[in-house]
Amino acid sequence: MAIVSSSAGRAESSKTTAKNRLVDAAPLPEDTTAPREDGLRPRRLDDYIGQHELKQVLSIAVQAAIGRGDALDHVLLYGPPGLGKTTMALVLAEELGVKCRITSAPALERPRDIVGLLVNLQPRELLFIDEIHRLTRVAEELLYPAMEDRRLDLTVGKGSTARTRTLDLPPFTLVGATTRAGALSSPLRDRFGLIQRLEFYGIDDLRAIVKRATGLLGLQLNEEACLEIARRCRGTPRIANRLLRRVRDVATVRGVSTLIDAALVDEALSLHRVDGRGLDASDRRLLELLLESHGGGPVGLETLAAALGEDPATLEAVVEPFLLQLGFLQRTPRGRVVTSAGRRHLGWSEQP
Ligand code: ADP
């Protein structure tokens, strides 16, 4: 496992920002436009690796809905980006034998956007709304009767001539996805029959995900190479796929036509400064700054952000969560502190 020294951290410090990182779990343009990328999504529940509890719950709900000939209950999926929420919505539609219409809350700004989607739904179809915590108030209020009574209440006309027209909707399933379940209003949350959290994936599931993707991309990686990607992908399938594509680039350039081994994976990912635990330059810059300039902390978020030239909200939402999850960083009432595990990872002695 590569241990990055403090001097390496300093050397790369001026080059990276927290946006558009190889290890960012949010989708980058290449995640959707890369050739054959869409083919990496599992299509059926049996191909969907990991998330056992989620699969169990949804599999029963799907069978029950099919048995009753009714639409599946509304489903809310929450958890960090890149863990398979959109994929699960598409899998559910496939299992139910219906279409899934995909949109996201920021695309539903005007009332007519959501009305247009709802009135065009066919019986038992799925409507997937990503980032559902960002719905406007008006869109939310249109959804309440639609979700509860399959009814759309439209106001026609203005002022004293305004009247309400009610349209009946076919039975349908709303699948909402969010990274911030706490930001959802409670009336909206209460209208979902199934509320499920997606967890970061364990190493064995990640290894299986990498293995499956190598097959689909026509690559050959040995066991150690798959494990190396699994270790570095931050528990996130989207990142695993992205790292795999970078490994494929290096294999192509080197003309490797045989089995790709862990050394090649290490070469490819080191080139992108993704270390043995999946930390990249932005992560290490933050820890290095805390260690070198502040004795490991505590340091307030604003001070850190100013020193790193980042926006505090980006630092908090994009860089810190993974460091917290690994136990390399702690948030205390007095500020951020590097833990002894964090110190060790960067090659510092455990005690300040
Ligand atoms: P989210 O909607 O949670 O941000 P996505 O559903 O878009 O995440 O997943 C990102 C990518 O990760 C997908 O394109 C898919 O290839 C892969 N993926 C996600 N979950 C799984 C899984 N359980 N098994 C295999 N691959 C997965």
- Write the pLDDT tens digit of every residue in 108-139: 999 899 999 999 999 999 999 999 999 999 99
Cβ of residue 210 lying under 6 Å from some atom of ligand 1: no
* Number of CB atoms found within 10 A of residue 174's CB: 23
To test the pocket of ligand 1, the residue of 28, 58, 87, 90 to mutate (highest count of ligand atoms within 8 Å of its CB) is: 87
The predicted pLDDT at position 350 comes to 74
* Rounded to 5°, angle at Cα 211 from 97 and 44: 5
Which of the four pLDDT bands, split at 50, 70 and 90, describes residue 17? Answer: low
| Annotation marks residue 85 as catalytic | yes
The predicted pLDDT at position 23 comes to 84
Q: Is the CB of residue 127 less than 8 Å from the CB of residue 117?
A: yes
Q: Is the CB of residue 198 less than 8 Å from the CB of residue 85?
A: yes
Instruction: Read off the pLDDT of each residue in 21-25 and give the average, rounded to a whole number.
Output: 83
The predicted pLDDT at position 2 comes to 35
Cβ of residue 209 lying under 6 Å from some atom of ligand 1: yes
Cβ of residue 86 lying under 6 Å from some atom of ligand 1: yes
**How does pLDDT run across 43-67, given as a tens digit for each residue?**
999 999 999 999 999 999 999 999 9
Instruction: Using the structure block, give the residue that is written with the tokens 């820890």.
Output: 287
Q: What is the residue with the minimal CA distance to atom 9 of ligand 1? A: 84
What is the rounded distance in angstroms from the CA atom of residue 103 to the CA atom of residue 105? Answer: 7
| Annotation marks residue 86 as catalytic | yes
| Annotation marks residue 238 as catalytic | yes
Instruction: Read off the pLDDT of each residue in 209-228 and give the average, rounded to a whole number.
Output: 95
What is the rounded distance in angstroms from the CA atom of residue 134 to the CA atom of residue 318? Answer: 18
The predicted pLDDT at position 228 comes to 97
| Annotation marks residue 130 as catalytic | yes
Whether residue 38 has pLDDT greater than 80: no
| Annotation marks residue 179 as catalytic | yes
What does pLDDT average to over the chain?
90
Cβ of residue 235 lying under 6 Å from some atom of ligand 1: no
User: Closest ligand 1 atom to the C-alpha of 90?
Assistant: 6
Cβ of residue 76 lying under 6 Å from some atom of ligand 1: no
* Rounded to 5°, angle at Cα 292 from 291 and 293: 100
* Rounded to 5°, angle at Cα 80 from 77 and 85: 35
Cβ of residue 83 lying under 6 Å from some atom of ligand 1: yes
User: Closest ligand 1 atom to the C-alpha of 87?
Assistant: 6
> In Å, what is the CA distance from 270 to each residue of 4, 120, 237, 247, 275?
10, 49, 19, 10, 6
Whether residue 141 has pLDDT greater than 90: yes
Report, in angstroms and rounded to the nearest whole number, the Rg of the chain calculated over CA atoms: 23
Q: How far is the CA of 114 from the centre of ligand 1 (A)?
A: 25
Whether residue 103 has pLDDT greater than 90: yes
| Per annotation, catalytic residue among 24, 86, 277, 339 | 86
| Per annotation, catalytic residue among 101, 211, 232, 238 | 238
The predicted pLDDT at position 157 comes to 82
Which of the four pLDDT bands, split at 50, 70 and 90, describes residue 13? Answer: very low
What secondary structure does DSSP assign to 155-224, as a single string? Answer: EESSGGG-EEEEEE----EEEEEES-GGGS-HHHHHT-SEEEEPPPPPHHHHHHHHHHHHHHHT--B-HH
Cβ of residue 242 lying under 6 Å from some atom of ligand 1: no
User: Closest ligand 1 atom to the C-alpha of 212?
Assistant: 25
| Per annotation, catalytic residue among 21, 24, 31, 85 | 85
Phi first, then psi: give them for residue 199, nearest 5 degrees: -105, 155
Whether residue 219 has pLDDT greater than 50: yes
* Rounded to 5°, angle at Cα 87 from 173 and 111: 45
Closest Cα partner for 350 from 319, 328, 322? 328
Q: Is the CB of residue 260 less than 8 Å from the CB of residue 229?
A: no
> In Å, what is the CA distance from 176 to each residue of 29, 78, 104, 140, 161?
22, 8, 9, 12, 35
Q: How far is the CA of 192 from the centre of ligand 1 (A)?
A: 22
